[in-house]
Structure 1
Amino acid sequence: MENHALELVDFDFDRDMDDVLAMWKEVGWCDEERTEPFVREFFQANDGRSVVARLNGRAESVAHRSLGSIKYGADRELSAGAITAVTTSRIGRRLRGASRLTARSVATLGGEGCAIALLGMFEQGFYDRFGFGVGPYEHVVRVSPGSLRVPCEYRTPERFDFENHSEELYEAVVRRHRGHGGLLIGGERAARTIVMLDQQSSVYGYRTDGVLSHWIAVEHQGEHGPDNVIAWAYETPAQCLELLRLCQEWSDQTDVIRFTEPVWLQAQDFIDAPGTNRRRTHGSKASVSTEAFAWWQIRILDLAACVRPMVAVEDPFDVVVDLSDPIGSHLVDSGYDGSWEPLTGLWRLSFSESHSAERLPDGSEAADLTTSVNALSRWWLGVLPASALAAVGQMDGDPAIFERLDLLTAHLPRPQPGWDF
């Protein structure tokens, strides 16, 4: 069927929700009656920030977006938006519905004032066409609770749930420790649905001076696990260790617990005989390991807003950048009619005690650097230095330029959102 048969429109809850539910069940995202209310709330909670592609009177593709903020460096906060779900039904494939909805959603986030956009990728490469660059590796730890040796005392936690303690739990999410790249996205109802969509999850936590300060949500898979930490929030490293100490106490029943390692921590410091246990359990359901995998991507939407919070430099310099942004062709026939424009073109980036980005007329100056918004976004966030991106062909210019750009991001720790999206 031709692409023009698709009607791309804003999501309407009453009209489209049943179609979206059918779509989610079809692709395996919603396979039990219990999860339906939370899928409905997931779409109802984001203030209509979804778009659908309709075919013959039914929604066959949907893109869901959410607003929030991201921490840059030690203390700067930037507006951020995330593409939080892109789904296409079995009969909606090959119609470019998902591509056009994604492009439209990204552009809309730019129009809504977001400095950057993020998304989780189902496979590397697909979202590159919209200007996204791959984030860093996340370290996923699978460990036997019995081999943990967390250096803190055990305290009995309280039990919580998002049915009765949603406001308290989300307030802890807002206050949680967020380092560079730390994300706050979607609001209380969105956080609730992310946890509640997991079918066998429990929430345990602790209060400090009467206030819920740190909690952990765990998905249970059978009597002996593996258990999966789907979310946690804590204000201090000591509180994180207390949550891991809680997991240690489950060793008499749970064979394996899985969690994403915080960027400031090396969990192997607290694991007894990690090499022996990895070899002994290799290939079994209870295997233990530490794996690295990149699952999220980022792109700059507002270049001026992104360069402003970068570290000051004593020796001022300018870089003229010939920037490509592949999203433009995917906005054609997307229905987007807002003011945000792709970043393709010539830009002057000026770095000193304060920084700026200025769009220049095409051909007005010779470029010092040629790159894509994909690669520039990775450099800006500190995923890879400019010199490394140049080495793999994602940037082209004088090596002296890369040395100066590297100094702007060398102090940044590995970025980590710290929250699923």
Structure 2
Amino acid sequence: MYALADSALMLWNMGIAAGLMLGAMLVLRPVLLRLLTAQQRTWLGMLGWYGTGMINLFGLLGWVHILPVTFRDLITPRTTGRTANELPAYLPVDYRGTGEYVMALPGGKAVWVELTDGMLLVLGVVWLAGIAALSIWMWRRSRQLKVLGRQGELLDLKDPGLEYLQGDRDTAVRLCRGLPTSFVYQGGEKMDGKRYDMIYLQAELSPQRRELVLRHEWNHLRMLHSWMKSWANLVLVFWWWNPILWAAYYYFCRDMELACDEKTLRDLEGGEQRKQYAQTLVELASGKMLWGEPLAFGEYGAVARVKAVIAWHKPQWWVKLGKWCAFVLVFLFFVGGPRNIPFLPEDVVWKWQQADIEVELSEDWTPAERWMRVEQDGDMALLAKDTAGKWHKMSYWCSAWNGTFLRMSDWETMLGTPNLTGAQQGLW
């Protein structure tokens, strides 16, 4: 039971970290819209979705600490261990039954909360039920679109105007009647013993509109957006309880559409085709957002996309260089850390009180004052002032795994008066 509770608390900690990171990107979005391209914002978003959704990758990115201060430093009040690649621990991760525990807020403030077996059981059941409900709902929506798309007829890629697709032997296109919007599925169908990336196009489109929509959807496949959205979708379902992730998911999908528009505009020749592309967006990009897996041309965000298409122009080399420099700086700001802070002072004091350790005193002196100080690395220092006015110190190491204490030194006589800032009197 306790192991399951610890695992759930650890995963919920990651959901909080994901919300903080992606939420910060939302706050910075007005600035990022000017500094970065849509594709760079998509990659930055993937840092939030992959970097927090994959625990091993989160730890690996923690070693890339180049800037003096990173975002993870700012939001990590404590960690689950003592190495630089440990996970943030906002919620307690060492559950040992009903009682009071320390919840750590970003900035290091401690909040005492009461946790019970029944409370964690209810929260766990609600969490898993939400995952199951959302998974079933999104699976049914995706399945309905797939079934509708597979009823279409295969398009011959040797037709005039499709020369750019003829070298892509992993992609197939179907023309489908009655589709609400055109969309793609990476690895969507298996035909002749081979799995193809599928593009499903509305058969009602005029040939001119069809070519533009096809280019857009094909660029989604080339840029691996379908895989990106699938993973973000999985993270969203897993941590459905975090409202920040829903807002971040919406803008992440919008950035993918804007990035695909930019790529398509670079592929088109001449201003007339780009003008027609903007007109196609006005006509077709007015549908509701698809919260499931497929990427669709008609997803919500027509106004922003049309404005971006109209304002688009091929950037100068120095503009590209500036945007890449800005991207590297922003990327480095969101990686690195978190700091190795296994405990808050309140954690160590609480663990000490639970351990009920009997401290051995020296026969050479008698304590007149007893103090306890928690060091920055989470170790414990017991301080004693004897009747002659001299100070003595004994050190304990607190395990980040099970909270046990190991004596690191015997009593040592200090040369001067210790720094008692943050120390507490009479706890031993």
Using structure 1 for the length normalisation, give the TM-score: 0.19
Using structure 2 for the length normalisation, give the TM-score: 0.19
Tell me which protein shows more helix as a share of its residues: 2
Tell me which protein shows more strand as a share of its residues: 1
